[in-house]
Amino acid sequence: QKEVEQDPGPLSVPEGAIVSLNCTYSNSAFQYFMWYRQYSRKGPELLMYTYSSGNKEDGRFTAQVDKSSKYISLFIRDSQPSDSATYLCAMSAGGYNKLIFGAGTRLAVHP
């Protein structure tokens, strides 16, 4: 079993929809949780970052962490075609930045 599980999709939604992306994990030592966006043929870029449990909002994006359930989510409101990309969750136990990534979920937002 992988430390981080993420549904690879693909997920196809109409423009304006609310998108929910999720990851589960098994290592209770994880303290830092990140969401990266990766466009085709590009490197991952950091979208959201959360320390420990709770919610964090940044514009149309909201990240949630539920450590009791070992479950993290990324919500995208008013999705746009430019949001079409692969979304990767990543996490670390701290100490340094050895990130453990999920497999990524491919999202397609169609006009």
Partner 1 sequence: GAGVSQSPRYKVTKRGQDVALRCDPISGHVSLYWYRQALGQGPEFLTYFNYEAQQDKSGLPNDRFSAERPEGSISTLTIQRTEQRDSAMYRCASSLETQRIGVSGSIGYEQYFGPGTRLTVT
Question: For binding to partner 1 (CB under 8 A), which residues are involved?
Answer: 4, 6, 8, 32, 42-46, 49-52, 88, 90, 94-104
Q: How far is the CB of 103 from partner 1 (least distance, A)?
A: 5
Q: How far is the CB of 87 from partner 1 (least distance, A)?
A: 10
Tell me how far apart the alpha carbons of residues 95 and 59 are, in angstroms, rounded to a whole number: 29
Nearest to 23 by CA among 56, 67, 85, 76: 67
Q: How far is the CB of 67 from partner 1 (least distance, A)?
A: 13
Token code pair at residue 9: 């999709």
Tell me how far apart the alpha carbons of residues 76 and 57 are, in angstroms, rounded to a whole number: 10
Instruction: CB nearer to partner 1: give 17 or 99.
Output: 99
